[in-house]
Each structure stands twice: as C-alpha cells, then as structure tokens.
Structure 1
C-alpha cells in the first residue's frame, strides 16, 4: 500500500485547496478529502501520462507546460486547456520580467562595486 500513497498528493494540500472554496463554517469529512485526493492524483497521472507519451514519440525527455496543455486538449479537457494556456503565458511573462529585474540588479551591483573599487584606489 506504500507505493499507492507515494503517488497521491499530500492530503494537507488537498484539504487546504478544498477549504479555500468552501464557506468558513463548512467542514470536510476525512472521506471527502481522501476521495478528492484520489481523484486529483489520478487526473494528474492521466494528463501527465498522455504528455509523456507525446514526448517519447518526439524523442524528448522533458515534459513541459505546452505538453500538458496539449494533453488536456487531446483528452477532451478543452476548457482546462485554454485556462492553463493563459496561465502558462502569464507565468512565462512573469519569469521573463523576474529574470530581467535580476539581471538589472546584478548589473547595478557590479557597477556599484566597480565604482567603489576605483574610489578605494585613489
């Protein structure tokens, strides 16, 4: 039974997500949490397996976000696919902006250090 539980999402994460949707006074039974845990884990495996098959056919080892979006569409989850595509684009945009900001900060720090070292030599 250990193998099966290794493939499940952590129950605390599942519970936290479920609680975000429900009114604050609502309670969730252990059975409900475990059922959602099983379903969500199975869904992730199903979609990832489809994406992985695509990657194997294309001789690629890395499953990426585009592969997951493709798998969702292929499996008939078009509504999810479109939402995930939008999320993926926003995520990539955010990562590019973060990388640019980090590069700019690094350049500024380098320039500041260069100025400091020139001042110290004088």
Structure 2
C-alpha cells in the first residue's frame, strides 16, 4: 500500500513540476517579464486550464504526502529502536566514557604555554 502511494506521489511531483514549467510568467518577479503586450496570442483559456490542473495536482500531492506521513507514523508506533539493540554477554548496559587523561597528550616541558604572537 505504501509503495503504491509513493509511486503516485512521485508521478504527481513530476506532473506538478511539468505543469508549472508550462505556465507563462505573468508577474515578472525575476525581471524577465511576460512577453508582448497584447492578449491576441495569450491563450487565457489555456492559462486558466493550466492553473486549475496545477491546483488539482497540488492538492493531490499534499494528500499523498499526508497519507505517507500517516502510514510511516503507524509503522513507527509498532516498534521501538531500543528493541533492536542486542547486548553482548557481560557488556555493561550503558556505555562508559573514556577517562579524560587518556584523551590528552602527555605534557612536555619544552612546549610553550601560548602560541607566539603574530606581528
């Protein structure tokens, strides 16, 4: 079931991308403009059909997104990550942190305490 919804979701995403790229730029938000001045060749009926189709694809995309989220949550609620942890025999239940003295290099008497000044 989840695979079918995922495939439909991917097809809707591709269709939504394609339909948005087919639409004419009317706002000129990036400074590109919408083209010539007259409405003789604008195709307003086609533009409104593309707009309606964009809304349909967008609503279907959001519905499949919500359905995938609900299905993923339902599967996640049935199992815990901690259930999959297998402890070795004799291993402590909680890991211990290493000692700080093993992380630091041994001190040397020759080393300067501060780096030299850059002039």
**TM-score under structure 2 normalisation?**
0.38
Report 1 or 2 for greater relative contact order, CA contacts < 8 Å, sequence distance ≥ 6: 2
Q: Which has the higher helix share?
A: 1
Bigger Rg over Cα? 2
